[in-house]
Structure 1
Amino acid sequence: MWCTRWFLPLLLLPLPTAPPYFLVLFLFTLALHARPCFYCIILLAALFLSSCYWQSFPLHAPLSAPWADNITTFREALNASVSQTLDMYEVAPPIIRVSDRCWCDFAFGVFEPYDVQKWERDSVERAVAEIENQLKTRLENRSDETKYASTLDSGEAGSMSHSQKSPEQRTVPLKESLFILRSLFGRGRSNDVTSMSTSNSPQTSQTTSEDPAERLPPVEASAPDNPLFPGQLDLRPHGFDVILDFRWSRTA
């Protein structure tokens, strides 16, 4: 692993902007000079491939080249790119996520240097799009919450109006149901009453002609209760016409 010491300066370069042709040529000549082993080649290839991800920058970090006299940092670039209706002091993140780029990028050609200004501008536009999407989703959530609250208020108002009805209005269906039941059973009851009145009319005429003393029903003398023997239990006072006999008799 000692042969990798020649490639350490490549890891110290923060933002390589040289054309890819010179970078590839430098790596080729350095490999011929250091003669790395197979494991070192695998390690270096993994390092170069993993360098395509770049860490986020703070908003107060300066730009590689000022966009204008008053735009020298990423925060100022965000303020200039976002719409004027948004307050960046409330929605701006503390850091900005830059676009991914490889250590040796062939996007602009083999002999052309890397355009860092375009990379920074693309990163700022990406951050502005993310902020606007977050604000859009936040506004949609607020509108949904207001709609839900309005539906709840309307439901509560309907329940309150139903509960504030007068007792007379609430008893109208009950009265109607009672009237229907009375109309159903009133006919049979009236017929019974008329039949009973017609059947009892001759009896009343006969009883009126008789002596009032004869109209009194004869009072039957209550039969004397038989005395209970020891060992017997009378259940008649409790509604059962039964006398239990618990006496035990032995046969000689």
Structure 2
Amino acid sequence: CTRWFLPLLLLPLPTAPPYFLVLFLFTLALHARPCFYCIVLLAALFLSSCYWQSFPLDARLSAPWADDVTTFYEALNATIRPELKLLEFTPPIMRVADRCWCDFASGAFEPYDIQKWERDSVERAVVEIESEWKQRFEAEGDAKLNATTPKPVEEPTTSNTLGSQQYDTSQQAPNTTRGALSIFRSIFSRALIRAETSPTSSAAITPPTPPEIPAKPSTVEPPSPVKTSLSPGQVDMRPFGVDLILDYRWSREA
């Protein structure tokens, strides 16, 4: 169903007013009855096609600006400032400004202004050329300034300056050794002071021990003899360390 829209691709109408393009698409849609997919595809194609290919510099303008301005190169030469050398900064091709097929900027019923489009493209190219020339001019000016500025000349060192430098270094050497010796002395003196003060500080910190009281010798008291009533003829051996009672009695009954 898209074969009915091939004339728009093969024979584009960049100067037609947007009203004509919209009406043409509408009549083709009624006649060909494309599917929804084709309608969306064609609408996106003709409404978003804003890129235009570049033209060569010898391409003719749609309408001459003057009797001697009929190509893009002549238009650039007439627009650019006279102090610029166009041969050095001339672009190889003419990049035109982008525009859509259905451009409503100039109105829906008026054709597209091609001359204004070409003039805008030439002015944009002139701005790019001038900016490039300005950058190159500034770079050349900086290079010339660096070349003309004199470099500082180093004064040759005489024997007096060398002697003074050697004298200064000879004076600085013992000073540095003295400084190192003083540092070591201070370190060792601090260590000795700490070693001397450490026992006194420990003695001051430890609490005094109370005096020991001599314990009284304990006396072992002998066991008190068990007082028992003894009969005549009995001898108690317990006071002598023998737990025994001797009985010398004689009884006939026994």
**TM-score normalised by L of structure 1:** 0.62
Q: Which residue of 1 aligns with 2:162?
A: 170
Gaps spanning 5+ residues in structure 2: where? 175-254
Higher radius of gyration, 1 or 2: 2
- Choose the corresponding residue for 1:24, options 22, 25, 30: 22
1:113 positional shift? 1.0
**Alignment identity in percent?**
66
Residue 45 (structure 2) pairs with residue 47 (structure 1): yes
RMSD over aligned Cα atoms: 2.4
Please state if 1:101 is matched with 2:93. Answer: no
Residue in structure 1 matching 2:59, options 58, 61, 64: 61
- Output the amino acid matched with 2:42: L
Contact preservation (8 Å) 2:61, 2:71 = yes
Aligned residue pairs total 174
Deviation at 1:46, TM superposition (A): 2.7
Inter-CA distance 24–180: structure 2 relative to 1 (3 Å threshold): closer
How far is the alpha carbon of 1:28 from its aligned partner?
0.7
How far does residue 150 in structure 1 lie from its aligned partner after superposition?
A: 6.2
- Tell me what 2:194 maps to: none
Structure 1: state its 5+ residue gaps. 183-252
Deviation at 1:12, TM superposition (A): 2.3
Normalising by structure 2, report the TM-score: 0.62
Residues 1-252 of structure 1: matches in 2 within 5 Å? 3-14=1-12, 16-146=14-144, 154=151, 157-158=152-153, 161-162=154-155, 164-175=156-167, 178=170
Equivalent pair of 2:50/2:100 in contact (CA under 8 Å): yes
Larger % of helix: which? Answer: 1
Secondary structure (helix, strand or coil) at the match of 1:165 reads: coil
Q: For each residue in 1:141-184, what CA deviation from the matched residue of structure 2 results, as whole angstroms up to 9, or x when unmatched?
A: 33444555667x62xx44xx14x3333333333235557989xx
Alpha-carbon distance between aligned partners in 1 of 2:75 and 2:139, rounded to the nearest angstrom: 29
Cα distance, 1:44 vs structure 2: 1.0
